[in-house]
Structure 1
Amino acid sequence: MRRLVLAAAVSAIAATAHAQPLGGEQPLLRQLSGEVSSARQQAIIQRLVGFGTRHTLSDTKSDKRGIGAARRWVAAEFAQMSKDCGGCLTVETPSEVFTAARIPKPTEVMDVLAIQKGTTDPERVIVISGHMDSRVSDPLNATADAPGANDDASGVAAVMEAARVLSKHKFPATLVFAVLSGEEQGLYGGKVLADYATAHGWQVEADLNNDIVGNSHGQNGVADNTHVRVFSEGTRTVETAAEADRRRYNGGEVDSPSRNLARVMDALADRYLTNFDVIMVYRTDRYGRSGDQVPMLKAGFPAVRVTEAAENYTRQHQDLRTENGVKYGDVIEGVDFDYLAQVTRLNLLAMASLASAPTPPEGVDIAGAVTSDTTLKWTPSRDAVAYRAWWRSTTDPQWRYSRLAGTSGQVVLKDVNIDDWFFGLSAIGPDGFESPVVFPGAAGRFKATPPAAAK
């Protein structure tokens, strides 16, 4: 009898709220998706491969070969895009000097950034990144040809095409198109970006790091041009010991801001892309490997890694050669440009949606112990016209049920028991764009915590 009563209660909850994707239909997102050009991305990768090597320790003086020529070309391309949009992009080249195991002598690591300032909320920043540097089998070999067509000229092509398309439009939040260096030597370009963002007071809401996003044929012979993986950390890198204690008790292991960014990307793919889906991977990166999103996470910024679904390891970090009939090396023939265009569309959708939506809710808290109802509280913001309370089963990967919450800073969910569900809150803007869902408390907080506070 008790089992029947419980089933009836769950059915009653489901009847009062719908399972739904984030936000409503947005014509702008349809338009942006159609503006991506695979031919332009092919031309970008051809040009980058044409520099011979883009190793971080390679020549910086030549205009034809090496990392210096590559970064100057990227900066010039961004400058031309800015000219085309009436000066809407500011090109910056932050750098730092590093010495490390893979950088045996002091070396300048320089990033190339194109910054599109937001119209009404410029302190809030959405970043897309990819790294221009390449390598062969020996990470210290700075002279051998290292085409780096997929790792990671494909990510750079995604960044540059995103800049070309999005610079034609205006957004409330600031967009940053980041082409990084030094990734293969120890994620140093990601650190330069994180340090620059911190020094300039950026409130980074999302870093979409694209690394190895252009191949659709796996080493095992499996072809997959309909999926892309989005990796996201489960708990915040900068979580304090006290915050970890609360999370272990009340939940939040799968609700970091980075994880909720991945959920947004998954929902956008489902709605706007044809025959293309996100595989959410509950991991910061591939097993035993890493990318430039890691320094951003260490700085307290939400970040995800976007990577193709079917990797071919014979084309990653390999000398150009043929052995036993197998061709090794990261050459342009290994790039599927139609697939890369789909990955780029996903990034465009995410950037435009996030930059158009209100700031993710702040001060989100929850109460409801020893009652049948759950109460969500938050700090109302100036850019939201409504909020939406969300809940889902504790074992459900996606937010399932929702209810509009108004702007008072509090909503009571009648007969929704706090013990049985995970809860969150999103903010809705005047044009219907909706922020990512924020899980209550420190576990889900989007606003960066200074790294020093996490010690």
Structure 2
Amino acid sequence: MPVFRTLRVAVLMVATLPTAALAEPGTDAALLENIRQDVSAERIEKDITRLVGFGTRHTLSDTKSETRGIGAARRWVYDEFKRISAECGDCLEVYYQSDFVEGERRIPNRTEVVNVIAVQKGTVDPGRYVIMSGDIDSRVTDPMNFTDDSPGANDNASGLAGALEAARVLSKHKFAGSIVYAGLSGEEQGLFGGKIMAAAAKKDGWRITGVLNNDMIGNIEGINGVINNTTARVFMEGTRMNETPQQATARRFRGGEVDSPSRNLGRYVHKIAEDHIPNLDVMMIYRLDRFGRGGHHRPFNDAGYAGVRIMETNEHYDRQHQDLRTEGGVKYGDTLDGVNFDYAAKLTSLNALTMAALSRAPAPPAGVEISGAVSANTTLKWQPADTRENDLIAGYKVYWRLTTDATWTHSVFVGNVSEHTLENIVIDNYFFGVAAVSKEGFESPVVFPGPAGDFYLD
């Protein structure tokens, strides 16, 4: 009897799959491979070494010196972005972004927190953005100690060097959407650089498809003795921080707890690694950040944007937020010898390929709706793409998966339409979503139906 039950279930599962599908365009894998190979561990090492050379990059450190402190560091970052821009015919808009902070626990006195931003404008939809960020600032044991040496080689010169290298590589190419490379300050003092940038993006009406926050991407040796250069972690929160009570009620009955834009952005990063980065497995972690800790994607999440943290899998706590010293034969401090530059390059390439694919793809579908209660079929509808994307878009792809699956397992390309019915696929049993596909085969992230999954929810 158990054998017959198993066979019957298998037949039913096969019956749910579509019998025919439209031909979809193949992805331009050559472009992504070219970008991956162009990322240089040597250049990343040079940038991290230069950043360490500023002695300290504490947010409250010297801003006047040309050789030491956060002022010298951010001016160097600005100049480096300008050099990169000059090599691509001034393709980057480089600028400082700042605001004053005071009366905070870690910034008691009036202090200007300054970000360095470089924007590579899209050719089709320049108002759509994907952002890669790294942090300029560093710290030692006492978060208020802004005078002692604080090299911050891995935390977070590695992430900032990754953003600079991504700019070097991607600025050689054209993209439909805009790409932003951001050096953010004030992270160790309370995520102030991210708060400033997220507020400015909201004020300027940026449509942000995703924020890739890179915070420590260069360490492969854990404090537990594990050494591993083949995995990375992506932290991605679930329910939107700014969800309304009405949206929460809808989510309770329709789902979406594990399908926020941040979660589907994380799945996108996972798929890029799976398909295009040799010897790299992405661990998707359903949490805003490490337990009880935070990073610069959080202010963007707070503002309702999709954002994830990309970082090393194995942390070495003796090398984080530590005064430089040796005690009991143990060396403490975040110095250059704790950074694996090849690994930092691998994670930088993960970012670069993700941003390239997102920016070559159409915008995520808007207004995705679903119906099919008390029916054998499930119907999804969405708004047609903006007319400016007419020459970019090839069509749409409908996805579904079991509610216990972490990643999308089934899909069908349905062409350039705004509605599709999956016959004999019961709405109660699966999660569903829709992605837009370009003529080059690049896909947007999958969008879960309703406000819970909408990437550009106002």
Asked if these proteins are the same fold (TM beyond 0.5), I'd say yes
Question: Does structure 1 retain, via aligned residues, the 8 Å contact 2:27–2:440?
Answer: no
Aligned to 2:271: 267
Question: Does structure 1 retain, via aligned residues, the 8 Å contact 2:15–2:424?
Answer: no
Structure 1: runs of 5 or more not aligned? 450-455
Aligned to 1:452: none
SS at structure 2 position matched to 1:163:
helix
Question: Does structure 1 retain, via aligned residues, the 8 Å contact 2:396–2:417?
Answer: no
SS at structure 1 position matched to 2:428:
coil
Q: For 1:272-421, list aligned pairs within 5 A.
A: 272-381=276-385, 382=387, 383=389, 384-421=393-430
What is the TM-score normalised by the length of structure 2?
A: 0.95
Aligned to 1:41: 44
Aligned to 2:75: 72
Question: Does structure 2 retain, via aligned residues, the 8 Å contact 1:194–1:299?
Answer: yes
Aligned to 1:432: 441
Aligned to 1:164: 168
Counterpart amino acid of 2:435? S
Question: Does structure 2 retain, via aligned residues, the 8 Å contact 1:386–1:407?
Answer: yes
Partner Cα separation in structure 2 for residue 219 and residue 93 of structure 1:
37
What is the TM-score normalised by the length of structure 1?
A: 0.96
Q: Equivalent of 1:102, from 106, 115, 122?
A: 106
Question: Does structure 1 retain, via aligned residues, the 8 Å contact 2:18–2:422?
Answer: no
The share of aligned pairs that are identical, in percent, is 54
Greater than 6 Å deviation, 4+ residue runs: none
Question: Does structure 1 retain, via aligned residues, the 8 Å contact 2:361–2:437?
Answer: yes
What is the CA-CA distance between 1:17 and the residue it aligns to?
Answer: 8.0
Question: Does structure 2 retain, via aligned residues, the 8 Å contact 1:23–1:434?
Answer: no
Aligned to 2:10: 7
What is the CA-CA distance between 1:199 and the residue it aligns to?
Answer: 2.1
SS at structure 2 position matched to 1:53:
coil
Partner Cα separation in structure 2 for residue 87 and residue 16 of structure 1:
50
Question: Does structure 2 retain, via aligned residues, the 8 Å contact 1:204–1:448?
Answer: no
What is the CA-CA distance between 1:4 and the residue it aligns to?
Answer: 5.1
What is the CA-CA distance between 1:235 and the residue it aligns to?
Answer: 1.1
Q: Equivalent of 1:91, from 90, 94, 102?
A: 94
1:51 maps to 2:54: yes
Partner Cα separation in structure 2 for residue 145 and residue 17 of structure 1:
64
Partner Cα separation in structure 1 for residue 290 and residue 409 of structure 2:
28
Question: Does structure 2 retain, via aligned residues, the 8 Å contact 1:17–1:402?
Answer: no
What is the CA-CA distance between 1:7 and the residue it aligns to?
Answer: 3.5
Q: Equivalent of 2:129, from 125, 129, 154?
A: 125
What is the CA-CA distance between 1:129 and the residue it aligns to?
Answer: 0.1
Counterpart amino acid of 2:219? N
Structure 2: runs of 5 or more not aligned? none
Which string of whole-angstrom CA distances, capped at 9 and with x for unpartnered residues, describes residues 139-175 of structure 1?
A: 0000000000000000001100000111111111111
Aligned to 2:450: 441
SS at structure 2 position matched to 1:157:
helix
SS at structure 1 position matched to 2:110:
strand
Partner Cα separation in structure 1 for residue 163 and residue 327 of structure 2:
34
Partner Cα separation in structure 2 for residue 211 and residue 363 of structure 1:
33
Which string of whole-angstrom CA distances, capped at 9 and with x for unpartnered residues, describes residues 171-216 of structure 1?
A: 1111110001000000001011112212222111110000011000
SS at structure 1 position matched to 2:368:
strand
SS at structure 2 position matched to 1:270:
helix
RMSD: 1.6
Question: Does structure 1 retain, via aligned residues, the 8 Å contact 2:114–2:185?
Answer: yes
Q: Equivalent of 1:208, from 206, 209, 212?
A: 212
SS at structure 1 position matched to 2:46:
helix
Partner Cα separation in structure 2 for residue 274 and residue 25 of structure 1:
17
- Report how many aligned residue pairs link the two structures: 447
Counterpart amino acid of 1:302? A
What is the CA-CA distance between 1:385 and the residue it aligns to?
Answer: 2.1
What is the CA-CA distance between 1:408 and the residue it aligns to?
Answer: 2.6
SS at structure 1 position matched to 2:431:
strand
Partner Cα separation in structure 2 for residue 448 and residue 53 of structure 1:
40
Q: For 1:241-256, list aligned pairs within 5 A.
A: 241-256=245-260
Partner Cα separation in structure 1 for residue 92 and residue 194 of structure 2:
21
What is the CA-CA distance between 1:277 and the residue it aligns to?
Answer: 1.3
Counterpart amino acid of 1:417? V
